[in-house]
Each structure stands twice: as C-alpha cells, then as structure tokens.
Amino acid sequence: MSNNITTEDILRISGVDTRKCMFCGKCSGTCPAFDEMEYHPHQFVYMVQWGMIDKLMESKSIYKCLTCFACLERCPRNVQPAKLIEAVRQAVIRQQGMNHMTENDIPGLLEDKLPQQAIVSAMRKYKK
Amino acid sequence: MQRELIERLNALIGEGVGKRVLGWKRGEFFYDTEPAILAADQLDELVYDSFCGPNLSKYLIQEMPKLGEGEKIIALIKPCDSYSFNQLCTEHRINKDKVYVIGVGCKGKIDVDKIRARGITGITGIDVDGDALTVHTLYGDEQVNRKEVLLNKCLSCKGKEHRVFDEQIGESEETSTGDDRFDMVKKLEAMSAEERFAFWRGELSKCIRCNACRNVCPACSCVKCVFDNPNTGVQNKAAADDFEENLFHIIRAFHVAGRCTDCGECSRVCPQGIPLHLLNRKFISDIDELYGEYQAGEEVGQRHPVINYTQGDCEPSIVHERGSNA
Amino acid sequence: MPVNTEWKPKIVAFCCNWCSYAGADLAGSSRLAYPADVKIIRIPCSCRLNPLFILRAFQRGADGVILCGCHPGDCHYSTGNYYARRRMTLLFSMLNYLGIDSRRTRVEWVSAAEGAKFAATMNDFAKTITELGENVKLGDLRCKEN
Amino acid sequence: MQKIGVFVCWCGSNIAATVDVKAVANAMRSEPGVVFSTDYQYMCSENGQNLIKDAIRDYKLDGIVVCSCSPRMHEATFRKTAMAAGLNPYMVEIANIREQCSWIHKDMPEGTEKAMVLARAAIAKVKKNAPLTAGTSPVTKRALVIGGGIAGIQTALDVADAGYEVDIVEKSPTIGGRMAQLDKTFPTLDCAACILTPKMVEANQHEKINLITYSELENVSGFVGNFTARIRKKARHVDEKKCTGCGVCTEKCPSRKGLNEFNMGLNTRGAIYIPFAQAIPNLAVIDTSNCIHFKTGKCGICEKNCSAGAIKFDQEDEIIERKYGAIVVATGFKPIDASYFDEYAYTQSKDVVTSLEFERLMNAAGPSKGVLVRPSDGEHPHDITFIQCVGSRCSHDATKGKEYCSKICCMYTAKHAMLVREKYPDVNVHVFYIDVRTPGKNFDEFYRRAVEQYDVDYIKGMVGKVTVEGKKLHVQGSSLLSNDQLHIYSDMVVLATAIEPDPTARSIGTMLTASMDTNDFFTEAHPKLRPVESPTAGIFLSGVCQGPKDIPETVAQAGAAASKVIGLLSKNELVGNPCVAHANELLCNGCSQCERVCPYGAITYVEKEVRGPEFRGVKRVAQVNEAVCQGCGACTVTCPSTAMDLKGFSNNQIIAEVDAICR
C-alpha cells in the first residue's frame, strides 16, 4: 500500500533536518528499546532521508520507542531521532483516518487524575 | 515633587557633591521648559513638572570640559533620558565619573498641542491633579484627562526604570499604551512603493532645515556636522531641492543608526510636524529583525549592531526579497 | 508615453581592489562583454563605501549603483565586507522605505576568479536598470540640465 | 591651477582597436586643468615612460593620468616613472581603458566614449590627490614566542639559528608542553621524550634563546617591528641561580596533596616539585597553595634540606618589560573537559580515562611506572574499550562539544590500541568509531596494522552509554554494520576527547588584537596563502593554536612561522603603505566607534591639546598608527563627522570620481 507520505512531510512535521546526521549510531547505541525494534533509531533517520516512509509506517518499531529522548539528548549532531519517530507515528494516525472521536468528545472524558500532558496531546491528536 | 527636588539639590550642593545642576527652567510660556545649567543661587528657577519633556543628556557633553579635576555636575535624568546618557557614556562624550545622576521619576509629559487639538484655545494655565487636568482658558476652565494628552514619545515609553542613577527621587507611572511602536513603520512597509514615496515626499518637503532635529538629538552630537563642513562635498545649509531634503534625513538617520535610543525628541521638536522618528524606527526595526533585538543605551559599553557583524548575517538582497517594490 | 530611445542608463559599480576589481579585470581579459553603461570605481575594500557616495551618484544622475566585494569570509582585510554587508542592507532598506525601488541598489560578492560572474552580474544589473528606466525619484534636477 | 598630464596608451591594438585613442587624447586636452595630453603605442615601454618623464619636466606637471591597462598591472610602473621625474608617485592615477573598456566593448564609438568618461574620472580624482610619503619604522631585532611546547621550541630554535634573539614565555615551570606528556608518537612509535628532550636541551643552551618559564604575558602594546610586552615572572620561591635540580627537597616535602599536573592529576606530588625528570629548566618550584610553610608559617623542611640554600620563601613576582619586533603565538591546546560527556561515566569511575591520561598510564615515567593498571584498584585490565570522537564533530546546535574534527584522535587511538595489544596480548581491545580518518604519510598503513596485525576489534558505531556495574564498566553501543546493540563489559574505557585551544589563548588574542574564530583558534591572514600569519602584522601562528594538527605538521608550521619572523627581523626598517587612514583631530568626536571596527587595532584614543578656529583645549581624539593601518577604510564610514578619512581613497577623491562618471 502507498500512504503518499513523503520525506518532506515527515521533515515538516518533525522539524528535523536528516542531512545533519553523520550516521555515528550513538542514538542506537543509547536506545533502551533497541532489542524490541526491527528498525533502529539511526535507521529511522536513514529511511526517512531516503524515502522509505511506507516501510517505517508499517513497522511496529515506531511504537516501541519509549520517547525517553536519550537519543535526542546524546546526539552529537542534534538530529533528534525521537522527534522523527513521533512524526511518523503522527503520519500514521493522520493518514488512516483512525480517529474514532473528535476533539469535542474530549472534555466529557476528562478525569482529575489525567496528566496535563496527556490532555494536551489528545487535543493535538484529535484536532487534526 | 519640584520642592522636594530643590531641597535635595540644595543639600547636595551644600555637601559639595557638585556646584551646578543640569535641569529644566521655564521657557517663554508656562508650558515651555528648556534645559538649563543652574548654580546654587539659581535653583529657584528649576522646574520639574508635566512639561519637562526635553531630553537633557546631550547638554552634558558641553559641560564635560568645564569641570575641573574631581568636580561633578548634578544632572536630572528621566528614565527615558537615561538611555541616551548611557549611549553618550559609551561614546566617551560623557564621563559618568563627572556626573551625579539624580534619576527623577516620570509619569509622562504633556503635549500642549494635543490639548489645543481638542479645540481648546486661549490657554492661560493648567493645573494637574493626578490624571485630572484643569485647563484655564480665556473662555473658562476645561477638564481634560492627562493620559489622553501625553507626548507621543510617552505612549511608547521604554519603561520607568532608570538605566543609570546615583539616587532616585519621585515616583513614576507607566505611560506606555502597550501598542507596538513599530505599527506605523509596518503600515508604511505595507504600502506600495509609490504610496511610500508620496508619503515621504509629502513629509520631507515640509522640512525647512531649521536643524532642530539635529540640535536636540543626543546621538547627533558631532563636533561638526558633515552638512556644515565645506570639505565634505555634501555641505548644505538649506535644502534646495527634493534630493537634498532626502539626503539630509537619510544620512542623519544612518549616522545615528544603532545609536538612536528612540527617545523621540526629533519628532517632538520638529516645527513642521515631520514624523522623523519613523526613519529612526525603521532602522531599529530592521536591526531588531535582522540582527537581533537591540536597545541602544541599555548598558554602557555596548557594541551597537552597525559596528558589529556575524558571519551568518543576511545578504542585502533581503531588502529586495522581502518584496516591497510593488 | 513616448519612449526616449536616446536614454542610456548610468550605472556606477564600486569594486573592492582585491577581489571584485580583479574579477572585473579577468572579465576583461576573458573578453566577456557587458554594457558600457557600467563604470567602475575602485575602492580598497567594500567597507570603504560610504552611503554618501551612493546618494551622491543618484543625485548626479546614476540610475543604479552596485557594490562588489570579496565573498564574506574572504575579505582581504578579514572583516571589511561583513561591515559593508550590514551597512548596505540597512541603507538599501531605508531607500526602499522611502519608495526607491530596491532593484536600483545591489551588492554582489565577486572573487578575483569570477570574471564570468562579474560580467553576468553587470549584464543582469544593466538589464534590470534599463527595464526600470530613468531614476527620477532620487535625482537632482539641477544636475540633469545637460 | 593644477597642471595635469594625460597619457593615452594604445597597448598595440589591444586598446587602439576599439578605442579611438587620438580622439580620447584630444578630448582630454580641453578638460580643465589638463595642460598636456598625448597618446603612444606602448606607454609602459621605455620610450613611453621617457615620454611621460619628459612631459612632467617640460610642463611642470603636478599630476598625471595614464589611460592604459589595469592599475593592478602597471600602476607601480608608472609610479616609479613619476618618481624618476621628480613627481610624487601618489600623484599618478590610472584610467583602466583596457580590461574595463577596450577588451569588453566591440563598438568603437561606444568604447571611445566610455574611455573618455573613465579618463575624466581619473583626472577628477588626481586633482584631489595629495603627495604621500610612506612612513618607515625601525625593527627591534628580537622575537617573542608565547608557549614553550614543541611549536614554540621549534620556532625559537629556527629563529635563533638565523642569529636573532628569541624569548620564550611559558606559563608552566618547564618547557616541553603537551608533547612531553606523550608516551609514544604515531606512526613510528618512537618515544616522545627521546625526540623532544634533546630539543628542549638545545633551546636551553642556545645562546640566542632566553627561556622565561613560570611566567605569563600581562600586556602587549605597539605594532609590527615595535611591540612592547610586559611579562610577569611568577615567584618560584626558589633561587634559579642556586638550585641545582638535585630533587632532595621534592622527596623531603611532607605535603603530598598537590595533584601532579604532568600526570594529568592521576597521582600527587610534593608542594615543592620539579614537574618531571627532564624538565627544562631543571629547577624546583613551590606550589604555595599546598605548601605548609605558606599556609601555617611552620615546616621549612625543604629549606633545611637544601644544601645549595636556594629556597627563598620571600621571593616576589618579577615584571619583565621588553621590546620585540615579532611575536609568535604557540599557545597549544588542552583536551576538553570529559565530564561534560557524563554518559560515558567519566566522573563516576576512575577507570574511565581520557586519552591523555591513558598516555600517562602507559608511560614508564607515569604514575604506574609504565605498567598498565586500572586506576581504581591497580589491577591488570583484561578488556579495554576506546571511544572515538568524544566531543568532536558535534553540530553547532548540539548541547555540547566542538564542531570540528580534532584530527589527531583516530591516529592516537590506533596507537594506544596497538601498544596495549603489543605489551599485553591477553587484553581485548575494542574501538568504537564513526569514521577512521587517516590521511597522512604511513597513517592508513598504521591503522590497518592495528586491525590486521594486532587484532584490535574496530566497531563502526558509537557508544550510547557507559554504566558502572560492580568492578566492570558496562559499555552499551551500536554496531552499525551488524545492526546490533552491543553490551561489552570492560575493565577500562578510554575517551578520545576532542582538543580545544588553551584557555589562555583568548586573552592573549585580545592583547595582541589578533583575530580568532568562534572556537578560539587564531585566524590566519589568508587560509591558503598566508597560513602562518595572523591578520595583525607582526603576529605569527605556530602549532595547534591555529587549528588541530599533529606533531610533524606542528613542526612544519613552526618552521614556516620562523621563516616569516626571520624575514621580518632581517629588515632594518619597515616601509609602510601611505594609503592609510588619518583622523582630523578638530572634527573627531572621540566616540571610539572607529576603534571598534578596526581589524588591526591601529586606532587608539588619546587626550590631546587641540587648537582650531572653533575649539581650543584638551579633547579625546583618535590616532591612527600608520605602521599598523592597512588602509581598508572601515573606520571612515563609521565616522559620522568624516573626521576619519583614507589617504589615496579620500571622500573627496571618490566623490570627484562619482561626479565625473555621472556627469
């Protein structure tokens, strides 16, 4: 299947410049979820740069990322692989029309204990 | 406040802090004030009220050589004037060691023309009580809200903090309306080139080359102005045509670019009402946008953006690329 | 409107001695043509260009003024063109603000090896100025008598 | 009225083919001020030059315009011609009617018209010219070298061998610098001390070299040929003339708290110490911050034990002020602070060391006497991991690190790996690398030997983190080629830390008004053609202070800098360029803006008595040092009152040209 998502889309969503990457592999060296992944953080960068977006979107790897930001923290080139992964996840969600609710449904579901961050990201997600 | 100030000045002179004071005295009309250097026995002439708009910093330049070793002059500096004071210190025109700065509080200064613009004529006096102005005229009293007749420069006030002072006297009150001071610059930028040309021709053609803007400007303090110097090739006492009107104001603005503190004195004193500060603000807004926000006179010793650079500066073609020739 | 077929633009090109003037020489020795309307004034460095000179040129009837200097980072005096770049950006912006077409003023970095670029730049600039026509906004009528 | 002569050159047919030279010469004859105008086939030929000389004499010309090729070609020629005829050489202007006219225009009327305009512009300019005389300044025949590492030593030796006096100022108690700390050198593996110490001795014994160690530069003033430096010679509290360097005091000293700088702080030394066995000068020095006598007034054991009576607790700093003709910067480098990269556990474990520390651990004179042991427990390591590019090649917007490649790390890491495997074949050695960069003679061969002959485990990938797990260091990294995440349990981790300019470089650069880049490396006058000179005249660059380099490159640059210094010092006086800036003191505002934009520090401000029609008295005015000014003109545009003008390219000259062209 073709998702029509391009490299440019991912770069725009993430704000990442993949050309800055020198493929040192420090992100993959630092990733705590490395063993769970089919594609690893440095491969994300490579695959986005070379347009292998479909493969990434279909891979379970993107959901294995814990968003711990260790790769982002340690990257010597400030490439920010974690943002790239997040962008691919977003692209999947936007693409498939998988939203089963709208942002108007959110207020009704709010609970006191919900973390602020979750509410904000829910608003972001369902507003698309 | 004026009485308090004079008492304090007498005390300071008594303590030997300085012999003379740079302040304001009454001008020809009650709403006129002018800069004055006052000795101890002239202090009763000192005025500090809602009409003390003039920026005094510049007048310290000529006092510097008159001061002996270790001698100081006492200067009254409003918050907005303190920027010019610092800028002149940066340029070594004023030696801070020779000045005892009294930061005087400011609640905004009144523009009498704005009162007149309300159709109030024959003004004989004004009483200030907080924000309530009672304007006495030949035809009776009128009530005016002080906030509505402040000088334009007070409406875009940089804040009531003195950037330099040895002591502070009097309270201040915010007068900034919070509006973007670059509004008019942006409006002009949004116009077509022809409209802009027409606007500036209309304004600059009013110029009578009285040099009031130059004389009042704290940044325009050259020993001899290029326009007064027969050896520069651009000497020019009175603008003979459009070009010379443009030339004087462009070069004047360029010479003060990066050093202009946006004190607004040029427009305040222009007898023809030319909004000269819009030229300076254009440079300021370009500097802020292209080279990072910068406020001249914020600190002593700053290196202003026009005598500085970074390797990654934008190219001059950005002017064209911003697409403002239409 | 009658087209003045006699009219030829006057273009003043200020060139720094070390890069652009040499680039212009190279354009010459490579026989790369550009309009005779372009007249070059040699200055030691692009940072020597005083805004007064530009305005003077317009006053005396120039229709376009271009400054050429070493590429940023290659200045013979190491930093001159960085200052020139800021000054010209601000000046051009001010002229534009006064309603003067920004295409009449230009800065181009031309190295001593870029003879072709020099010629191409001058051709392009002369073409632009010819299209824009005579400079009437920033001229001095007294200087146009003859 | 001035008398101007115009000389139009045909340049054979180069000009004459598209410019009607006779018409140009005729037209110029009617220009105001022109009293003579002619044309000739080759103005630069001897006959042509004679024609000019004759005209200058016959018509008493006080300015000439030569319409010919580019001034870059023959301006110097015609200036000499004018001078020979008794005219000031700066009363010559060239109208470039070849490169910028005849060669680019095909149409004769068009070419001729433009040539006339260019000639008129040159005439207009020459009328505003003033006779200029180049100033001269004497040269002090002594050089100052800042830094006593291999770069400084080599430069000093080369300059001294040419017969000039050289002072080396070194901030630490001994010369030798970083190279003295190295164990072996790549790619030959010869011992650093064996090749360096003879040079140190030579420098010490050279009659033209004066070592000023344990001293810091405090101030530099002056300009090329005439610098004055003030140097603070810190008190050693040891009489240099009496101390024999026997070392008894250093053994007897009861304080053992001072970290041994030479061993990168891996062990301690006495409060009185000699940095290392081969230190030059071989003198003891007291570290007052650790000395019991200085802290409590008691002790004095060193004094009692010194048979030479050299201990001088009351010795004070000494100020040396001396003149120099040239200054060489050789301030060198230091490794960056590895604690910024704490993902590698540098601050958490003693067994994570930097490469320079490792160098000391391997060295026979090091803290472990050359036996490789873990710093934490002194045990023999069985597994060592090297991590390259620590702090190098980081992007400018990354949170830490340097943007540049430190250049030497690939090679020294290969060296370390090889040396370990050579001495201790039982130790496993891993090297994590991004790229192995080995451009250099015998460099790649060296690296391949490490892989092929010594079986070093090179892993393409980076280490993400190092954690301390018991006695082991858990190294987690990626292997990009196998697409694996590796977990290695090592006994030691060695970080190939980036190098950065010595922290003193910035203040020295400011003192010298020598420009530096954003990384604090000194900038060269031209990146290709003048790589060992600073843009500031008389300042030269040697070694890593200009950019990362290895020992042979440093020595080569040191020699190159020395040859530039010798060239300068061999002159008795320097002839300046007369086209320099000049401040009109009456107009000067004293605002210092020009001082800020001058790239050479040529402008200073003085309080000066000024007398003019409108002002009399003392005022602050700009002064241009003509020997330092290079004539760029940045100051002239900065000056709002046009007090600052440039000779040879004055405001009036350029305005005259503009007017003539736009006429």
Q: pLDDT tens digits, residue range A44-74?
A: 999 999 999 999 999 999 999 999 999 999 9
* Residues A67, D625: Cα–Cα separation, whole Å: 61
* Residues D215, D319: Cα–Cα separation, whole Å: 9
Residue of D434, D462, D466 to mutate for A, most A C-beta atoms under 10 A? D462
* Residues A29, D476: Cα–Cα separation, whole Å: 6
Q: Is residue A2 part of a domain?
A: no
Binned at pLDDT 50, 70 and 90, residue D191 comes out as very high
pLDDT of C1 reads: 43
Burial class (CB in 10 A: 0-12, 13-18, 19+), D195: middle
The owner of tokens 């290659």 is C74
* Residues D308, D557: Cα–Cα separation, whole Å: 41
Q: Give the phi and the psi of residue D533 in degrees, each rounded to 5.
A: -110, 145
Q: Is residue A121 part of a domain?
A: yes
Binned at pLDDT 50, 70 and 90, residue D454 comes out as very high
Q: Which residue of D389, D393, D464 is in closest CB contact with A29? A: D464
pLDDT of C144 reads: 64
Closest CA to D70 of A86, C26, B233: C26
Q: Same structural domain for residues A91 and A107? A: no
- If one counts the domains in chain A, the total is 2
Kindly state the tokens that stand for D389.
């590019």
Q: Same structural domain for residues A66 and A86? A: yes
pLDDT of A1 reads: 43
Q: Same structural domain for residues A68 and A118? A: no
Say whether residue C102 is in contact with chain B using an 8 A CB cutoff. yes
Read off the pLDDT of each residue in B219-245 and give the average, rounded to a whole number: 85
* Residues D301, D292: Cα–Cα separation, whole Å: 10
pLDDT of C5 reads: 60
Amino acid at D600: Y
Closest CA to B286 of C51, C89, C55: C89
Nearest residue in chain B measured CA to CA from D591: B91
Binned at pLDDT 50, 70 and 90, residue D432 comes out as very high
Domain boundaries along the sequence of chain B: 1-109+157-177, 112-149, 180-326
The owner of tokens 């003019």 is D612
pLDDT of A2 reads: 53
* Residues A83, A16: Cα–Cα separation, whole Å: 7
CATH of the domain at C36: 3.40.50
HEC assignment per residue over D592-622: CHHHHHCCCCCEEEEEEEEECCCCEEEEEEE
D397 neighbourhood in chain A, CB within 8 Å: 78
Binned at pLDDT 50, 70 and 90, residue B73 comes out as very high
pLDDT of A128 reads: 59
Instruction: Please count the other Cβ atoms lying within 10 Å of the Cβ belonging to residue D161.
Output: 15
Q: pLDDT tens digits, residue range D235-254?
A: 999 999 999 999 999 999 99
B225 neighbourhood in chain D, CB within 8 Å: 641
Structural domain of C112: 11-135
> Chain B window 220-259: which residues touch D at a Cβ cutoff of 8 Å?
221-226, 229, 231-233, 255-256
Closest CA to D327 of D145, D125, D566, D201: D145
Torsion of CA B255, B261, B267, B268, to 10 degrees: -140
Q: How far D323 CA sits from the closest chain C CA (Å)?
A: 27
Q: pLDDT tens digits, residue range A97-127?
A: 666 777 788 888 888 888 888 888 888 777 7
Q: Give the phi and the psi of residue D373 in degrees, each rounded to 5.
A: -135, 160
* Residues B71, B17: Cα–Cα separation, whole Å: 8
How confident is the prediction along chain C (146 residues), in pLDDT tens digits per residue?
445 567 889 999 999 998 899 999 999 999 999 999 999 999 999 999 999 999 999 999 999 999 999 998 888 888 899 999 999 999 999 999 999 999 999 999 998 888 999 999 999 999 999 999 998 888 877 776 54
Q: How far D401 CA sits from the closest chain B CA (Å)?
A: 20
* Residues D219, D225: Cα–Cα separation, whole Å: 16
Q: How far A127 CA sits from the closest chain D CA (Å)?
A: 32
Torsion of CA D622, D624, D625, D627, to 10 degrees: 170
Q: pLDDT tens digits, residue range B257-267?
A: 999 999 999 99
C20 neighbourhood in chain D, CB within 8 Å: none
Q: Same structural domain for residues A124 and A75? A: no
pLDDT of D554 reads: 97
Q: Same structural domain for residues A115 and A84? A: no
Backbone dihedral region of B24: left (phi > 0), alpha (psi from -120 to 50 degrees) or beta? beta
> Chain D window 299-328: which residues touch C at a Cβ cutoff of 8 Å?
none
Helices (H), D129-191: 150-161
Read off the pLDDT of each residue in B298-308 and give the average, rounded to a whole number: 93
Kindly state the tokens that stand for B177.
């309306």
pLDDT of B125 reads: 87
Instruction: Please count the other Cβ atoms lying within 10 Å of the Cβ belonging to residue B191.
Output: 17
The owner of tokens 């000795």 is B39
Q: Same structural domain for residues A92 and A112? A: no
Q: Which residue of D99, D597, D630 is in closest CB contact with C28? A: D99
* Residues B299, D423: Cα–Cα separation, whole Å: 62
Residue of B88, B89, B93, B224 to mutate for D, most D C-beta atoms under 10 A? B224
Q: Do chains C and B touch (3 or more CB pairs under 8 A)?
A: yes
Share of chain D above pLDDT 70, in %: 100
- If one counts the domains in chain C, the total is 1
Domains recognised in chain D with CATH numbers? 4-128 (3.40.50), 142-176+185-233+317-331+529-569 (3.50.50.60), 248-305 (no CATH), 333-500 (3.50.50.60), 581-647 (3.30.70.20)
Say whether residue D535 is in contact with chain C using an 8 A CB cutoff. yes
B178 pLDDT more than 90 = no
Euclidean distance between the first and the last CA atom of chain C, given in angstroms as a whole number: 22
Is-contact D478 A28, C-beta < 8 A? Answer: yes
Kindly state the tokens that stand for B88.
């002149």
Q: Is residue A27 part of a domain?
A: yes
Q: Same structural domain for residues A86 and A59? A: yes
Q: pLDDT tens digits, residue range D51-88?
A: 999 999 999 999 999 999 999 889 999 999 999 999 99
Q: Same structural domain for residues A104 and A93? A: no
A77 neighbourhood in chain D, CB within 8 Å: 393-395, 398
pLDDT of B88 reads: 95
B323 pLDDT more than 80 = no
Q: Is residue A1 part of a domain?
A: no
D222 pLDDT more than 90 = no
Structural domain of A40: 7-97
Kindly state the tokens that stand for D205.
């014994």
Euclidean distance between the first and the last CA atom of chain D, given in angstroms as a whole number: 21
Share of chain D above pLDDT 90, in %: 89
Residue D89: asked if its preceding bond is cis (omega within 30°), the reply is no
For B243-308, the DSSP string reads: HHHHHHHHHHHHHHTTT-----HHHHH-TT---THHHHHHHHHHHHHHH----TTSSTT---GGG-
Q: Is the ipTM of this complex over 0.85?
A: no
- Angle formed by the axes of helices B277-291 and C80-97, to 10°? 130
Amino acid at A44: F
Closest CA to C98 of D401, D495, D518, B249: B249
D578 neighbourhood in chain C, CB within 8 Å: none
Report how far apart, in Å, the C-alpha atoms of A19 and of each of A73, A78, B153 are: 18, 11, 49
Is-contact B2 B46, C-beta < 8 A? Answer: yes
Report how far apart, in Å, the C-alpha atoms of C126 and of each of C70, D10, D116 are: 21, 28, 20
